[in-house]
A = this chain, B = another copy of it.
Amino acid sequence: MIIIGEKINGSIPSMAKAIANRDEEWIKKIAKAQADVGADYIDCCASVDVDEVETRHWMIDLIQSVTDTPIAVDSPDARVCIEASKFCKRPGMINSVSGEGDKIEVVFPVIADTKWSVMALLCDDTGIPKTAQDRIRVLDRIMAEAEKYGIAQNRIHIDPLIEMLCTAEDGIAMVREVMSYIKEHYPKVHISGAISNISFNLPYRKIINIAFTVMAMNAGMDSAVMDPLSRDLRGAIYATDALMGEDFMCMEYIGAFREDIFGPQK
Residue positions of A touching B, CB distance < 8 A = 165-173, 198, 202-204, 207-208, 210-212, 214-215, 218, 232, 235-236, 239-240, 242-250, 253-254, 257, 262-264
How many protomers of this protein does the assembly include? 2
The interface residues of chain B lying within 8 Å CB-to-CB of A204 are 235, 257, 262-264
The interface residues of chain B lying within 8 Å CB-to-CB of A214 are 210-211, 214-215
B171 and A243 form a contact (CB under 8 A): yes
B202 and A245 form a contact (CB under 8 A): no
The interface residues of chain B lying within 8 Å CB-to-CB of A210 are 210-211, 214, 236, 239
A110 to chain B, nearest CB (A): 38
Q: Known interface pairs A235-B204, A263-B203. Does A246 touch B211 (Cβ–Cβ under 8 Å)? A: no
A179 to chain B, nearest CB (A): 13
Among A173, A245, A247, the most chain B Cβ lie within 10 Å of the Cβ of: A245
B243 and A212 form a contact (CB under 8 A): yes
Q: How far does the alpha carbon of A167 sit from the alpha carbon of B251 in the complex, in Å? A: 11
Pick from B202, B250, B264: contact of A253, CB under 8 Å: B202
A242 and B167 form a contact (CB under 8 A): no
Q: How far does the alpha carbon of A245 sit from the alpha carbon of B198 in the complex, in Å? A: 13
Pick from B169, B218, B232, B239: contact of A245, CB under 8 Å: B169
The interface residues of chain B lying within 8 Å CB-to-CB of A207 are 232, 235-236, 239, 262
The interface residues of chain B lying within 8 Å CB-to-CB of A171 are 242-247
Q: Known interface pairs A202-B253, A254-B203, A263-B203. Does A208 touch B239 (Cβ–Cβ under 8 Å)? A: yes
A174 to chain B, nearest CB (A): 10
B212 and A215 form a contact (CB under 8 A): no
List 11 A-B residue pairs with CB atoms under 8 Å apart, sorted by A's residue number: A165-B242, A167-B249, A168-B245, A171-B245, A172-B245, A202-B254, A203-B254, A207-B232, A210-B214, A210-B236, A211-B243
A40 to chain B, nearest CB (A): 21
- CB nearest to A211 among chain B residues: B239
Q: For the A-B complex with A169-B245, A173-B245, A211-B239 known, give 9 more contacts whose Cβ atoms are closer than 8 Å.
A: A169-B248, A204-B257, A204-B263, A207-B235, A208-B243, A210-B214, A211-B240, A212-B243, A232-B232
A29 to chain B, nearest CB (A): 26
The interface residues of chain B lying within 8 Å CB-to-CB of A169 are 245, 248
A181 to chain B, nearest CB (A): 18
